[in-house]
Amino acid sequence: MLQLPPSASIVSRWERILLAVCVVAFCVSLLLLFRRFYVESTILRPSPGGTYIEGSVGELQPLIPWFTVTNNVNRDIVSLVFAGLLKYNPETKHIEEDLATLSVSADKRIYTLTLKDGLFWHDHTTEHPHPVTANDALFTFKTIQDPAFPNQLLRQNFLGVSIDKINDRTIRFKLDEPYSFFASNLTIGLLPQRSFEGIPPSKMDQAIDFGTAPIGAGPYVFKSIIETEISTEVTLERFPRTLEPTYHLSRVIFRIFPDYTTLLSDIRNLDGVRLVPRGKDGNPIVPHQFKASNYTLPQYVAMFLNLERPILRDQNLRLGLQLGTDKQAIIDAIGETTIVDTPLLELDTTDWRYQFSPQAAQGALFSSNWHLPEKIRLQRLLEMKEANDVGPLQIDPVVLLDTGAVLTVTGSVVDVGSGAALLDHSVSVIATATGTWAVALPTANETGSLRLGYNLVKLTNHKGAVIDSFYLWRTSDPKEFRRAAEEQRLLALFVQSRDRPETLEEDQRITTQDLFLDRGMLRRRIESDPVEIRINDKGDTLKLKLLTTAAPPEYGEVARITAEQWRSLGVDVTVEVVAARNIFEDKLLHRDYDVLLFGQSLLDNLDSFPYWHSSGVQKLTGNRNDLRLDAYNLSQYSSLEADSLLELIRKTQDEKERQQSLSDLKEILKTDVPAIFLYSPLYTFAYSKELHGVKLGALSLHSDRFLTLHNWFVKEEHVFLPGKSWWSFPGWLLSLLHLS
């Protein structure tokens, strides 16, 4: 057998190693080129699949769209299971088509809705088809209009509206009067008529079987409710609809916890948290693995002034309370950020004139029917001074005289004539060139004596007619005399500051705010002096009852701060924080408050009509049956001008006219001050960093965050750009070699 020399064997081995290295290098290079080509020729886009699990705090109730107004947790779930004829788009801030196309008549009184093709309820199968029809839409809205329907608040939205079926896919709403915000009422989720057969309208809220296994036509179908040791879990799965948009997430699970502490204990199993609470520093309590998205809703929290209370009919008092409310201090204390000065949230409020000003507040209250004791005293002193400054009597207004002493008063005979008397004591004429008289007024307890305290000294002629009178204050206590003399000095300084301010340096001038009533007399106010409670001319004290609810807890803190601020204005405020919801609602219905701290929501249409039109005033007849749940005018505010503008804003289709009406209405509310608007609450939604595409937009309800759920995804995939594929690799490689 032929054998190669040892040197040849060594060369062959190194060649094989080199060849292997070259092959590996070629493969790695080719893979890198393939990767580069793939990255440059593809884009990353969301892919179907994945589960989103959201935690919330609350209580699950039957899932029926008609009855989710006051339950935000239910509303979240319902917003995905059900769909309406129309929907709100938080990205465009407009009402858009959903299950139906919309046509509106020229006079804006007829709304015609035609269902789109291929719509089915979630229980639809080939064997048992269940399409969405006009009968279902007619049933949904006709049921709301039934007088026995349990949700009277929702029923108000369809008063004066006739609803007719045109054909199997079309229904028509005809309004008695144009209402530019009516389309918002058509966003409520449709319900299948078949599921409610045999249930009277009055019992719709008791349809528990449907409420615990709802059937809708929304993007997600209800699968199950499971009770665990720490939460209630509601599972939804994507429903194959022909409607756009397409949803990426295969499954959405809502986990409802009894409190936030329990929720945090299981935070690792959550992808999102709705309504994250805030800590004492005002920052949201968000776990580090989550992103925080802050948002506001078209809502405001205000102190509604009950104008049916006589005490609050004083416009200057209401203005004083407004000017004396430090909104910045309030929102800083509770971790809020957005101050609100008007209920017309769509307007620019940068020119709003009611800014915090203690001095201006005192000025407004000075002009009201409610006065600080200092003002009452000052007014009395000014009246006496005005009387004393006129006429022949010229006496020191305060005197120090022990009992038994006398006060000698003199004057000119020319002013009084013969036979005159002073305090029933005959004047004695003194033989002088000018003709002078004198009277020695006694201080003993006898007729005509100067008594301790105030004396009205009258000078009469020989017929008993009053020539002049003089207010004189007498004391036998040197300390009281010094206090009274100081009061007279301050009185003179006040008059000079008021009538001739240019004669005084600015720091020498005196206003009512610089005075303090101490043991019945005025002195200069010092920093430690409290503000006394204001009184009216009858001697009644200025007392107000401020009512609020214990939920959310921030309301109690706002009420406490407000009471302190108003106390510094001389207003005695009693705060009542009611924990029991039924008790609070009863007080609300009966308008059992002077001031109510509460919140209101304008929803997507920003319609202020229900809250400020006089039709929303509660009629307090004494008969409970006359009380209306839909009496939203919490200030009991009534204004013909405001009513006319609110009606015009609802009816007009002319945007210029609408904006002018809103501007005019703002001015009326500025002047009337039916409420003190405080802030718009800031909310925080937290979600996992593994969840992408979250963009909330301009929400009108918390559940509106799911109106952009079609953008959310947890999975991604690369897809080739148009005109690109793996077959494009050779050409791309040649172009790369050519460039090099």
Amino acid at 251: R
pLDDT in tens, 387-401: 999 988 989 999 999
Low-confidence winner among 79-93, 201-215, 217-231, 404-418 (lowest mean pLDDT): 404-418
CA 110/CA 95 separation, integer angstroms: 16
Give the pLDDT mean for 669-676: 93
pLDDT of residue 71: 64
| 347-379: pLDDT as tens digits | 665 554 457 888 888 888 888 889 889 888 999
Q: Which CATH architecture has domain 299-372+533-680?
A: Roll (3.10)
Q: How confident is the model at residue 732 (pLDDT cuts 50, 70, 90)?
A: low
| Residue 611: partners with Cβ closer than 8 Å, 6 or more residues away | 343, 600, 632, 633, 634
Answer whether residue 556 shows pLDDT above 90: yes
Where does the pLDDT of residue 380 fall: very low under 50, low under 70, confident under 90, or very high at 90 and above?
very high
Q: Is pLDDT at 584 greater than 60 in this prediction?
A: yes
* pLDDT tens per residue, range 603-651: 777 889 999 999 999 998 888 888 888 889 999 999 999 999 999 998 8
Mean pLDDT, residues 149-155: 87
The pLDDT tens digits for 323-337 are 999 999 999 999 888
Q: Cα dihedral sign for 397, 400, 405, 410?
A: negative
Tell me yes or no: is domain 83-217 CATH 3.90.76.10.
yes
pLDDT band at 577 (very low <50, low <70, confident <90, very high): very high
**Cis geometry, peptide bond prior to residue 552 (ω within 30 degrees of 0):** yes
pLDDT of the residue at 200 = 93
Contact 67, 150 (CB under 8 A): yes
At residue 416 the predicted structure's pLDDT band, cuts being 50, 70 and 90, is: confident
Does residue 158 have a pLDDT over 70?
Answer: yes
- Return the percentage of the chain with pLDDT > 90, whole number: 57
In this structure, are residues 90 and 696 in contact, taking their beta carbons and an 8 Å threshold? yes
- Beta strand 515-518 with 466-475 is unpaired
**DSSP conformation letters of 644-678:** HHHHHHHH---HHHHHHHHHHHHHHHHHH--EEEE
Express as a percent the part of the chain with pLDDT over 70.
93
Domain ranges in the chain? Answer: 6-47+717-739, 83-217, 299-372+533-680, 373-524
Paired strand residues for 683: 295
The closest alpha carbon to 60, from 187, 211, 209, 189, belongs to 211
By three-state DSSP, how is residue 190 classified? coil
Which ranges of 351-422 would DSSP assign to H, the alpha helix? 358-366, 373-388, 413-416
Query: What pLDDT does 136 receive?
Result: 96
Least confident of 19-33, 157-171, 394-408, 685-699: 19-33
H helices of 156-309, in order, are 208-211, 260-265
Query: How confident is the model over 103-112, as pLDDT tens digits?
Result: 999 888 999 9
For residue 97, pLDDT over 60 is answered with yes
- Residue 53 predicted with pLDDT over 80: yes
Query: Which is higher by pLDDT, 282 or 200?
Result: 200
pLDDT at residue 353, as a whole number? 47
Outline where 394-477 has alpha helix (H): 413-416
Q: Name which of 279-283, 287-291, 408-412 the model is least confident about.
A: 279-283
- Other C-beta atoms closer than 10 Å to the C-beta of 272 total 24
Computed over every residue of the chain, the mean pLDDT equals 88
For 176, residues 6+ apart whose C-beta sits below 8 A from its C-beta are: 109, 160, 161
Query: Under a CB-based contact definition with an 8 Å cutoff, are residues 413 and 435 in contact?
Result: yes
pLDDT band at 531 (very low <50, low <70, confident <90, very high): confident
Cβ–Cβ < 8 Å for 680, 70: no
Q: Which residues neighbour 469 within 8 Å (Cβ) at sequence distance 6 or greater?
A: 387, 391, 393, 456, 457, 458, 459
Of 21-35, 491-505, 656-670, 700-714, which range is least confident? 21-35
